[in-house]
A and B are shown apart, each in its own frame.
Chain A
Amino acid sequence: MKLAIYFNSPSLGGAERSMVHQIALMPKNWKISVFVPYLEVVSEITELDAFLRKTLFATFPFIEIIPLQYPAALYSQSRFGSQAKLFEVGLDLLHFQLHLRHFNLQQYDAHWCNGNKIGLPLFLFLEKEKCRRPFVWHFRDYPESRFPYSAIWKLFAHTRLPLFLVGNSDSVCSVLKTIKGRGQIFRLYNPAGESLKFRPWDGNKKNFKMGLVSMLAPWKGLHIAIQYHQWLAKELSTLGVKEVCIYGANIYRTKGEHDNYAHSLRDLLDKFTHETCRFEFITNASPPEIFSNIDILFHSSLRPEPFGRVILEAYMSGVPVISFSEGGAAELVNFGGYPILKHHPFAYYSVIKDIIENGDRTSCKIEQARARGEEINTYAKSDMEKLIRNF
């Protein structure tokens, strides 16, 4: 099998980590070409390239990385196209279609797109080339229902490509059913992948660090978490929670709601007092580093989360997870996590109090969480086997 995998971004984010760990589950004798997009210079992909090599090259003898230049203006469009200059986007799309002709993509037995930015141009290209090889469109988020995507999904009803729509969770797959057209739907849970060390719960500690781990975007709810810690700083300090570590960056460089979000977070810190709470922003840390440093994870996503990779990583590290638990995240959080309602700061405080003051219960919960994490890892393998069988 000769497989072409197309990454959606030059940056190493959660979706990219997950894809790399999913490649690790594929048959080792496959010939895999990994296309990684860059916008201006190839050095943009350095971190992702290094991660691919470190994770896969020792076990895959027939793997290669191919940098693929992607039009910067097209890349920067947000999912809603709200910033789109349609003419410019159309030209970029056309230009990219011409660029793809240089890669002899017809040589591949199957094509796998790790997201929408790369999915759409590849889909159009392969349709135009009358390709009849399996095409996997891997949804790393819920399919957007608004224009222009609502128009794009209609193409699925007319495609002659053997189309495989992959979702990260049952929740995403249930939405994919509404757009599938002629495609088949497969769930593919993300494996944890990283070498994460499980730490038993230490209820005797005096101080506990809260961790927020996500890209810096408003729907990730980091501002909500900061508000809670500002308003309840005294109460949380009494429990020993005096430090919040915020791991994340605006890695995807698209235009939209998350412009200026990082700046707004810092403004928010000045709006309310937080003498008894310290906030630290950290941009570069690996999952093992993150989860060995924090004691509790707050997964504050305000929108339904397709999966929640950080939750799985926390589970495998023995870190209790508090979450608004919407969408696919519930498939994790309902097993060993602490779900809370959005915009209920006192409920947040109560859960932290429960975690810290009931050490035995917390130990049981993180064991339950670890069991769920291991179950997900098992599903990740069997989901991949099932998908590959259908190629």
Chain B
Amino acid sequence: MTSTPSAQKVLITTPDYYPKLGGLSRFTQNIEHVLTKLKIPYDLHVWNRYQDLIASPISTNAYKAMINIHFLGGMSTQGAQIPVLNFFHGSEILFYSPNFFKHMIKKIQKNRMLRKIEADDLNIFISEYTLEKIKSLGFRQNVASDLIVHNGIDCHGARFVSRELNAGPFTLICVARDVPHKNLDGAVSLAKNLYRAIQRPIKLMLTTTRTWPVSEGVELVSLGTPSHDSLKKFVSEAHYNLLLSLDHSKLGFFEGFGLSALEAGMFGTPTLAFPTGGLPENIHHGINGHLIQSNHIHDVEAWFQQLTEINYRALRVSTFEHTIANHSLEIYEKILTNWQAIRL
């Protein structure tokens, strides 16, 4: 078997890869999937720490282009100057670290990094919010290089799941890491306020091992880290997916887009979200979910009262159709097929 010379290959760099779980790991696999489908040969370089990249810069010799799943992957390279495509997912653009020294290093390096990103061939931001955030830090946008492309996901296995609004307990799910800005406590408060408002049993599933005190009318289920297949089942059977992320930009975290809304949308499950970060660009009121200003009882009650059996059924259908039509991996196929740097 003849191996492909590197000169015809694309180099992908990523900090996260299977078996490590997480959004970037899945995103990397999605890009691999797209390149494979397009018959674009590639090599994959997985890096662990930025310090390791500094110590051993990545060689770009004989690659025709580079795709950085995380922009830091392109910050320390040696060899040929090749076209570079960077993906920007959210908080990583804040140049923040909870560690004081790392934070200082990022601040010192910020301008150099921004100039490097500006010089790269393509920068794909998953939301207008993320792009505006990096611009507020001094990034100079060039419309020829800096694109806004909302997330696409692998829709293989997507299927519409019907659910009656008034059947069983009103079921919510919150699929998020248990970190402050993901606001799992806010989801619990919402569930409790919802019970107070509608006096109907509520079930809230959360992907955490943490537990909460028992609350009247509200069943809180800590799912831990369920398997991929189990999670799909839970999400498909929920009435709503919750994305109540808080904007903790000053602490280095915000929601760039909200991937869990798409993963729920693959089954028709709409999302209820706070209007923070990139979420308003993802959740289209009445199309694939609703935006809610707070989890206070009056906002929760106002949201729920607009739902009827008929419009909820229609919402599930439009959520599914919107997700499949607009958020598959096909968008990356279109971009990479037409990108001059790697065209076959």
Q: Do A and B come from one complex?
A: yes
**Chain A residues proximal to chain B, CB less than 8 Å:** 218, 223, 227, 230-233, 261, 264-265, 267-268, 270-274, 341-347, 350
Chain B residues lying within 8 Å of A264, measured Cβ to Cβ, are 142-144
Check if B128 is an interface residue, CB within 8 A of chain A: yes
Check if B159 is an interface residue, CB within 8 A of chain A: no
Chain B residues lying within 8 Å of A231, measured Cβ to Cβ, are 331, 334-335, 338
Q: Does the CB pair B331–A345 fall under 8 Å? A: yes
Complex: how many Å from CA A271 to CA B149? 16
In the complex, what residue of chain A is closest to B341 when comparing beta carbons?
A271
For B197-220 the 0/1 string (1 means CB < 8 A from A) is 000000000000000000000000
Q: Does the CB pair B325–A350 fall under 8 Å? A: yes
Which of the residues A232, A233, A267, A343 comes within 8 Å of B149, measured between beta carbons?
A343
For B138-169 the 0/1 string (1 means CB < 8 A from A) is 00011111011110000000000000000000
Which of the residues B122, B145, B148, B326 comes within 8 Å of A346, measured between beta carbons?
B326
In the complex, what residue of chain A is closest to B121 when comparing beta carbons?
A271
Check if B330 is an interface residue, CB within 8 A of chain A: yes
Q: Which 4 A-B pairs have the closest CB atoms?
A: A267-B144, A223-B143, A231-B334, A268-B144
Which of the residues B121, B147, B284, B325 comes within 8 Å of A227, measured between beta carbons?
B147
What's the least CB distance linking A258 to chain B, in Å?
Answer: 10
Which of the residues A267, A268, A344 comes within 8 Å of B150, measured between beta carbons?
A344
Complex: how many Å from CA A267 to CA B148? 17
In the complex, what residue of chain B is closest to A273 when comparing beta carbons?
B338
Check if B304 is an interface residue, CB within 8 A of chain A: no
In the complex, what residue of chain B is closest to A235 when comparing beta carbons?
B334
In the complex, what residue of chain A is closest to B333 when comparing beta carbons?
A231
Check if B112 is an interface residue, CB within 8 A of chain A: no
Complex: how many Å from CA A350 to CA B326? 10
Interface of A is mostly: helix
Chain A residues lying within 8 Å of B142, measured Cβ to Cβ, are 264, 267
Chain A residues lying within 8 Å of B335, measured Cβ to Cβ, are 231, 272
A-B contact pairs, 12 of them (CB 8 A): A230-B338, A264-B143, A265-B144, A272-B338, A341-B284, A343-B128, A343-B150, A344-B326, A345-B331, A346-B325, A347-B325, A347-B326
Q: Does the CB pair B330–A346 fall under 8 Å? A: yes
In the complex, what residue of chain B is closest to A260 when comparing beta carbons?
B142
Complex: how many Å from CA A232 to CA B141? 24
What's the least CB distance linking A250 to chain B, in Å?
Answer: 14
What's the least CB distance linking A318 to chain B, in Å?
Answer: 29
Chain A residues lying within 8 Å of B281, measured Cβ to Cβ, are 342-343
Check if B343 is an interface residue, CB within 8 A of chain A: yes
Q: Does the CB pair B144–A345 fall under 8 Å? A: no
Check if B340 is an interface residue, CB within 8 A of chain A: yes
Chain B residues lying within 8 Å of A232, measured Cβ to Cβ, are 334
- In the complex, chain B residues 112-153 whose Cβ is within 8 Å of any chain A Cβ: 121-122, 128, 141-145, 147-150
For B315-338 the 0/1 string (1 means CB < 8 A from A) is 000000000011000110011001
Complex: how many Å from CA A232 to CA B343? 15
Chain B residues lying within 8 Å of A346, measured Cβ to Cβ, are 325-326, 330-331
* Known contacts A231-B334, A267-B144, A274-B338, then 19 further A-B pairs from the complex at CB < 8 Å, ordered by chain A residue: A231-B331, A231-B335, A261-B143, A264-B142, A265-B143, A265-B144, A268-B143, A268-B144, A271-B121, A271-B144, A271-B339, A272-B338, A273-B340, A343-B148, A343-B149, A344-B326, A345-B334, A346-B325, A347-B325
Complex: how many Å from CA A223 to CA B343? 21
Q: Does the CB pair B122–A271 fall under 8 Å? A: yes
Chain B residues lying within 8 Å of A345, measured Cβ to Cβ, are 331, 334
Chain A residues lying within 8 Å of B326, measured Cβ to Cβ, are 341, 344, 346-347
In the complex, what residue of chain B is closest to A270 when comparing beta carbons?
B340
In the complex, what residue of chain A is closest to B338 when comparing beta carbons?
A272
Complex: how many Å from CA A164 to CA B142? 39
Which of the residues A273, A341, A347 comes within 8 Å of B343, measured between beta carbons?
A273
Of residues B121, B143, B287, B330, which shows the largest number of chain A Cβ atoms within 10 Å of its Cβ?
B143
What's the least CB distance linking A116 to chain B, in Å?
Answer: 23
Which of the residues B144, B149, B340 comes within 8 Å of A223, measured between beta carbons?
B144
In the complex, what residue of chain B is closest to A344 when comparing beta carbons?
B326
Chain A residues lying within 8 Å of B284, measured Cβ to Cβ, are 341
Of residues B144, B339, B343, which shows the largest number of chain A Cβ atoms within 10 Å of its Cβ?
B144
Complex: how many Å from CA A215 to CA B338? 27
In the complex, what residue of chain B is closest to A350 when comparing beta carbons?
B325
Complex: how many Å from CA A270 to CA B128? 23
Complex: how many Å from CA A227 to CA B121? 15
What's the least CB distance linking B205 to chain A, in Å?
Answer: 29
Chain B residues lying within 8 Å of A230, measured Cβ to Cβ, are 338
What's the least CB distance linking B179 to chain A, in Å?
Answer: 27
Complex: how many Å from CA A36 to CA B158? 61
Chain A residues lying within 8 Å of B339, measured Cβ to Cβ, are 271-272
Chain B residues lying within 8 Å of A223, measured Cβ to Cβ, are 143-144
Chain B residues lying within 8 Å of A227, measured Cβ to Cβ, are 147
Q: Does the CB pair B331–A271 fall under 8 Å? A: no
Q: Does the CB pair A272–B143 fall under 8 Å? A: no
What's the least CB distance linking A338 to chain B, in Å?
Answer: 15
What's the least CB distance linking B124 to chain A, in Å?
Answer: 11
Chain B residues lying within 8 Å of A261, measured Cβ to Cβ, are 143
Complex: how many Å from CA A346 to CA B340? 21
- In the complex, chain B residues 277-334 whose Cβ is within 8 Å of any chain A Cβ: 281, 284, 287, 325-326, 330-331, 334
What's the least CB distance linking B152 to chain A, in Å?
Answer: 10
Q: Does the CB pair B330–A233 fall under 8 Å? A: no
What's the least CB distance linking B334 to chain A, in Å?
Answer: 4
What's the least CB distance linking B242 to chain A, in Å?
Answer: 22
Complex: how many Å from CA A223 to CA B144? 8
What's the least CB distance linking A215 to chain B, in Å?
Answer: 15
What's the least CB distance linking A289 to chain B, in Å?
Answer: 27
Which of the residues A218, A271, A273 comes within 8 Å of B145, measured between beta carbons?
A271
Complex: how many Å from CA A232 to CA B144? 17
Complex: how many Å from CA A267 to CA B144? 6
Complex: how many Å from CA A159 to CA B188? 51
In the complex, what residue of chain B is closest to A230 when comparing beta carbons?
B338
What's the least CB distance linking A84 to chain B, in Å?
Answer: 19
